[in-house]
Amino acid sequence: MTEPSVEHLNPASRVYAVLASAAGQPDNLSALVAWAQVFKLPEAGELALGRAVAQHLQLLHEEVELMVMAFSISPVSRQRWEGAVIQVEHATSPINLGAPWLGYKQHLTAATLQTLAILAEVVGDDEAAVSQGELAGIEERASALLTAIETLGLSDEILAIVRRHIDMVRRAVQLYPLRGAKDLESVTKYAFVEAAHIQTILQKRGDKEPSGLWDAFWRSVTAVVSKARGRTEGAKLLQHRMTQLLDGSATSAEGDGAPLLVDGNK
């Protein structure tokens, strides 16, 4: 089956890309294994893999809901796309993942996928494209940061925050094909105050390399968010605010410039 070309980025194009990959999975797999391959999940026991697949299918369903909302306000009549959405819902059901994949795959017909592809172009973009190189750059900076940070003798509290930030960003990057950049935007909103105060702690230790790596890591994240989501005023403000905080030009909520976190091992 020749896949239609989709150029716009929106929930429909993301759902289409996932389902086009799913339609290409071999017939003789279980639904669990097929979805694990589609989502590029690491090998795991059946129970853990089942949970991971179910979580990804839930995220996919959230994109389907956004897709339906976009279709509903498009100039295309509901009769043109409602049948395709029903087939998508059948194909992506998390029920009985141990069943043969063919029972799910049969809903991913060429007509269903073509409808999604056509409507993805009608809906238009909800964010700008981000290259794999830009996403890989975030991972490279995360790995370099972890290597440097582990040798500093930081307190367990500070290390836990650094690792949590990196884990959240890595998961958002891994989910980019399914979710776009909105999870990276959410992580940045969640973490930016902590990130700034970690930067203050690192700078006060006098070792420029870790603070430089921390700065480069978060700037690479906010650059991707700004590029992808920058058409919104919220994304522009978020990048500006993170830059201010990393530069040390913003103070604590109390206005006295005191850090919210203190390295107990300093």
Burial (CB count within 10 angstroms: exposed 0-12, middle 13-18, buried 19+), residue 95: exposed
Q: What pLDDT shows up at residue 32?
A: 96
What are the CA-CA distances from residue 261 to residues 156, 163, 165, 167 (Å)?
12, 15, 15, 20
DSSP assignments along 8-45, one per residue: --SHHHHHHHHHHHHHTS-TTSBHHHHHHHHTTPPP--
Q: How many CB atoms lie within 10 A of CB 46?
A: 12
- pTM, to two decimals: 0.80
Domain spans of the chain, in order of start: 11-123, 132-246
Q: What does the alpha-carbon distance between residue 49 and residue 55 come to, in Å, rounded to a whole number?
A: 10
**8 Å CB contact between 6 and 16:** yes
Tell how far CA 28 is from the center of its chain.
30
Q: Walk along the chain (266 residues) and give the pLDDT tens digit of each residue.
A: 445 556 888 999 999 999 999 999 999 999 999 999 999 999 888 999 999 999 999 999 999 999 999 999 989 899 999 999 999 999 999 988 999 999 999 999 999 999 999 999 998 888 888 999 999 999 999 999 888 888 777 778 888 988 999 999 999 999 999 999 999 999 998 888 888 888 888 888 776 788 888 888 998 998 899 889 875 555 555 555 656 555 664 443 333 333 344 344 54
Q: What pLDDT shows up at residue 118?
A: 92
Contacts of 156 by beta carbon, 8 Å cutoff, 6+ apart: none
**8 Å CB contact between 113 and 195:** no
Q: What pLDDT shows up at residue 258?
A: 34
